[in-house]
Every structure is written in structure tokens, then in C-alpha cells.
Structure 1
């Protein structure tokens, strides 16, 4: 079958020109509505992503708190050796202090030699 192409007269073209303008306005309005809808959907997706990221970080935080309260603190309470460590460090600090003092008190220590040299240069001794 062969379709015939009908020619449109100029009067019909003028009538259709107004109709074209109306249709353009309708199409533009539909496109604006669709673009607003797409923007809202994108904003919802972004907000959804933010919420899910927040929830994941909160889940990790709660897991760490659970680990702290359920495992680490009870074991710390059961076997607390902080006081013993402090005592041993205090003893080793005192022993080291005594060694240093005895070493610097000696007559031929580096400290005494440097102080002697300093006094000789400063006061011409």
C-alpha cells in the first residue's frame, strides 16, 4: 500500500502554528516537571546515601563500644597490673637516679672535668 502525502494549505499551517506554540509550552512544562522530579530523586538518593553512611559509622562505633565493655574492661578489672608496673618503674627510676648521682659525684667524672674547665676559663684559674 502506498500512502498519499497530503499537502497542507497555508490557512491550515497558520492554524497549526498557534497549536505548535501551545504544544511547545506543554512539552516545556512536562520537561520542567520531569527535571524537578529527577532533581528530587537525586536529592533523595544523596540523602539516603548520607543516612546509610551515618548508620554504618554508628554501627561500627557501637561494635567498638560493645568490644570495650564486653571484653576489654572485664579483663582489665580481673587482671589489673597497673600498680605493680608503676612500682617496678618507680624502683628502676630510683636505682637509675642513684647510679647517675654516684657517677657524677666521682672526681674524674666528665661533669666535674667540664665544670672545672669552665671555672678555669671564666675566672682564670
Structure 2
């Protein structure tokens, strides 16, 4: 197994972990903040599927858990499956979101930087959604 370069991207969200996890662990909510999964994520008889420019992608989400784990795997026919580690971590009344971006074997520096920028935008979108939803 090859070692992939990793970048740890994080954001603090001013919402308690239980509220953040209740929203973020539901696959049907991912398209509202995770642009990388496409806006077309849907449940099918074969599981969760997203339409991508490279064709349909299967998405396997970690089961609901008490640890804030939101890991998922994305598979596109003819390509290696991509593992996406994602954690919600309790920090008092704030939730720390930690996304580990693993560089894929065929990625050049520019593509890896673009992916990191997209993940940062997704984390900001999650922050905005959760803080707006739970304010007041």
C-alpha cells in the first residue's frame, strides 16, 4: 500500500457536537455543504450514488456512531476507491471539524492545492449552515 501525502484541514463551528453531528452525519445533507459529493447525491437500491463529471460514483458512509466519525469512501468505475477521513471533535460547546485530504497517486501539486481549496470552501459552508441553523 502506497503512502499518500496528507493535509489536515479544520474549522471551528460554534455549535455543540451533538447538534453538528445530528446534521452532518446524514448523507442526504452532504450535498448542502459538501460540493465534492455533487448536488446529485441520492439513495438507490445499490446504496448512495452521486453523479460526477467522470460518471456515477458510489458513496459508502460510516454508520452512525458516538465518536463523531463521518468517514466515507467514493468509488468510480475503473478508478481506485477514495477514502475520505472526516471527524467532528467536541471542544466545549464548539465542534472542531477535521478533514484529512489524502493526495491521490495521479495528482499534481496544482490539483492537490485545488482539492484543498474546495475542502476549505466545503468546511466554511458547513460552518455557515450550522451556525445559522442553530443561532438564536
Q: TM-score by structure 1 length?
A: 0.23
User: As a proportion of its length, which structure holds more helix?
Assistant: 1
Pick the structure with greater CA Rg: 1
Q: TM-score, normalised by structure 2?
A: 0.21
Point out the structure with the larger strand share: 2
The one of the two structures with greater contact order (alpha-carbon pairs below 8 A, sep at least 6) is 2
